[in-house]
Amino acid sequence: MIMVASGMVCSCKNNDKIFINSKNTDEYAARMQSFVEKISSYARDLNPDFIIIPQNGEELAFNNTEPADGVKSSYVDAIDGIGIEELFYDGPLRVDKDRLKMLQTLKSKVKKIMVSDYVKDNSKVPDALDRSINEGFIAFPRRSDNYDYMDIPPATDIRNVNTGDINTLADAKNYLYLISTDNFADKQTMIDAVKATNYDIVLIDLFFEEVALTPYDIQQLKTKANGGKRLVISYISIGSAENYRYYWQTGWKKGNPLWLKKKYEGYPDEFWVQFWHTEWQDIIFGNNDSYIKKIIDAGFDGAYLDNVEAYYFL
């Protein structure tokens, strides 16, 4: 949770508390809102049904990032849902009432709120599921050994299993969040493990060990074990650069290029970026070698935009 000088409440997966210049925050928030809107416009020009889900930064859905100023229509129109980490559980039960209030306002404005709590006591997983479902959200509570989204949970952690076809985000009743491949010996082993599940949405990385998944790989994942269709969404960080990605160049380090701005505490392979720079935005979208284009070409149904909260770290 981030508290800023203006009194605005912001979210962060590190849950640090910092105070920053509110004038700069407003300016950078507007730049992030514009960035997300441009990504969405580009993707939907190529695929009108492409799904856009920013993670955290739920305050960006409001004018001036202030719920009192009303919903920012252009931003909400550009997204389909919002992903949220640590809403009810941040290890122990710790309900984030400020963020919850914002999400309660937004749940009628977007197709889905997707909650990924971290539950340190595995016996509390059912409670984490109940809390999200009771709010009309869908949930993926991470067990104590799954902080980094490495495992497929036991089937008992899935609620509202169904055989229905999932054609839009609004249809989804549950989801799998699996962006680390470390626990799988090879790509097909991972694919087969996901195929054996009944999740309505599968959220995975575009890459397996730095090699992009193919349209054939993604097509294998689009049917649930019970025969229903599901959606497959790709993770992408738009607010931080990762030094193991295809775009990383020899000699890059903090300050070179200039927009590679700040180390990401707790994530040694990541750097916060000045995301408004043309060079970074060209990496993310707008051309045939861009990250979003690779996601679309692989056959994903949408993109899950992480680190939109970069605006208040810069």
Of residues 63, 56, 61, the one with CA closest to residue 79: 61
Question: Under 8 Å CB-to-CB from 250, ≥6 apart: which residues?
Answer: none
- What is the tens place of the pLDDT at every residue in 165-191? 999 999 999 999 999 999 999 999 999
pLDDT mean across residues, the chain: 93
Angle at CA 30, nearest 5°, toward 20 and 40? 130
Report d(CA 294, CA 296) in Å as an integer. Answer: 5
Peptide bond before residue 257 is cis, with ω within 30 degrees of 0: yes
Of residues 117, 217, 231, 216, the one with CA closest to residue 173: 231
Above 70 in pLDDT, residue 19?
no
What is the structure's pLDDT at 201?
Answer: 98
Report d(CA 168, CA 45) in Å as an integer. Answer: 18
Going from the C-alpha of 144 to that of each of 34, 79, 113, 148, 151, the distances in angstroms are: 36, 31, 23, 10, 11
- What is the tens place of the pLDDT at every residue in 98-135? 999 999 999 999 999 999 999 999 999 999 999 999 99
The CATH class of 28-312 is alpha beta
What is the structure's pLDDT at 21?
Answer: 46
Both structure tokens of 206: 């575009």
CB 234 within 8 A of CB 206: yes
Q: Indicate the pTM of the whole model.
A: 0.93
